[in-house]
Amino acid sequence: MDNPDTAVDIIILSWGRIPDTCAAIDSALSQKGIVPNVIVVDQGTPDDELSILKAHVAQNPSVTLVCNDKNRGVPGGRNQASSLGSAPYIVALDNDAEFASSDEVAKAVTYMEADATVAALAFRIVLFSDGEDDKSSWPYPLSMSKYSGQRFQTARFVGAGHMLRRSTFDAVKGYDDTLIFLHEEVDLAYRLINAGGTMVYEPSVRIRHKVSAENRVSWTGRRYYFHVRNTIYMASKFNFSPVSSLMNATLAITRGLRSGYIKGTLQGVFAGIGLIPRGLKQRWFDSRVRLSRDARKNIKATSPTRDMSLVQKIRYRLVPDTKAAQ
C-alpha cells in the first residue's frame, strides 16, 4: 500500500472556519506512505482570523499558504492551488473535512497507479460525527444504502474529497472558473471522460465531513442563483441533446420558483443567458469540451436519472435528494 516516494499535492481552500482549516491541514500532513505537499489557498478570510491560520502554517514549513484578497470561487481557487504544485496526483480536501486515517491518500495512490486509465478517484464521504454516509455527498444513480461500500465506475465525483491525475487534469485545462460555485466537479468530469479518462468511486478511501447532512442540503436564494446560472451555461457548453438540455434548464428554473427563490432564480436566468455565447464558443471550437459520442454514452450510462421514466426524471429534478435514501 505504501508509495513512499510518490508526491501528492493536497489542496485545501480556506474561507473562514479557521479551526477546521487548521485541523484539515494537520490531517493532510499526517498522511503516511506518500510525500504530502499541502497547499492552502485562503479566499479572503478577515485579517483577525487569518492571523491564526498564518501562525499555524508557520509551524509547518512544508505547507504553502497563499492569501487572496477576495474569493475567486471554488474552481478558480482549486486551479490556483493546483498550479502551485507539480505532483502526479492532486487531492482536494474540503476545509471542514479530515482524512479518516493516516493511510487514506496512500490507498488512493495505490489504486491510481494500478489503473492508468483512471483520471479521477471519488472518495467515500462520511459524517464526522458518527461515520455514517453523508447522503448530501452522494450524487450517484445507485442506491447509497446498497452501494456506498462497493467500488463502481461513475461520471462524477464529490468536491469534499477526491484525487485527480495531474496529467489528465492539465490536458483539459483544469476546472472552468466561470462556474464560480456549484457543478464545477460535473463540468470537469465530463471533460476528463471526453479526454479518454475514467472515474471510479472507491469506498476504501474515506473522508470525514464535519458539516451535518441537514446543513449540506439546505438551499438559499444565492445558492439557487448559481444553480440556475450554471445549469444554463453548461447546457449551452456541452453538446448533449437539445431536448434534455432544455428540460434540465427548465426544471432548474421551475424548482427555484416553486421553492420561493424567485429573485435568485430570475437573476440566475439572466446571468446564465449572458454566458450562452461563451458556452457555445467552447462547444463549437474547443475539442476538449465538444463531447465525443463515446463520452456522451458513458455519461448517460452513469447519469443519476438513467433508469427513470420521464415523470420520475421530472420529480427527481424538482424534488432533490429522493434517490440517495433508497
Per-residue pLDDT tens over the stretch 247-286: 889 989 998 998 899 999 999 999 999 999 999 999 999 9
The three cell numbers of residue 307 are: 433508469
177 and 229 part of one domain:
no
Question: Which is nearest to 169 in space by CA: 93, 299, 79, 104?
Answer: 79
Contact 191, 283 (CB under 8 A): no
Question: Which amino acid appears at position 28 of this protein?
Answer: A
Whether 324 is in a domain gets the answer no
| Same domain? 191 vs 269 | no
- In the chain, how many domains are there? 2
Q: Is residue 284 part of a domain?
A: yes
Give the number of residues written for the chain. Answer: 326
Domain boundary among 186, 216, 246: 216
Helix, strand, or coil (residue 45): coil
**Do 115 and 261 sit in the same domain of this protein?**
no
For residues 86 and 183, state if they share a domain: yes
Beta-bridge mates of residue 98: 208
Pairing between strand 161-165 and 89-93?
antiparallel
Q: In the structure grid, which three cell numbers stand for residue 221, read together?
A: 436564494
Single-letter code of the amino acid located at 51: S
Q: Give residue-wise pLDDT tens across range 218-248.
A: 567 788 999 999 999 999 999 998 988 898 8
Residue 1 has pLDDT above 90, yes or no: no
Residues 199 and 184 in one domain: yes
User: Has residue 152 got a pLDDT over 70?
Assistant: yes
**Pair 122, 177 in one domain:** yes
User: Residue 290's pLDDT is what?
Assistant: 96
Average pLDDT, the chain: 90
Side-chain-facing half-sphere of 301: CA atoms under 13 Å: 11
Q: Are residues 26 and 122 in the same domain?
A: yes
The arithmetic mean of pLDDT across residues 201-227, rounded, is 79
Q: Are strands 89-93 and 97-99 parallel, antiparallel or unpaired?
A: unpaired
pLDDT over 90, % of the chain: 75
- Residue 314, pLDDT score: 67
pLDDT at 244: 84
Domain span at residue 194 reads 8-216
Q: Do 141 and 305 meet the contact criterion of CB atoms below 8 Å apart?
A: yes
| Residues 256, 20: Cα–Cα separation, whole Å | 31
* CATH code, domain carrying 68: 3.90.550.10
- In this predicted structure, the answer to whether residue 326 has a pLDDT above a threshold of 90 is no
Same domain for 288 and 312, yes or no, is yes
pLDDT of the residue at 324: 40
> Quick one: 29 and 158 in the same domain?
yes
pLDDT of residue 320: 54
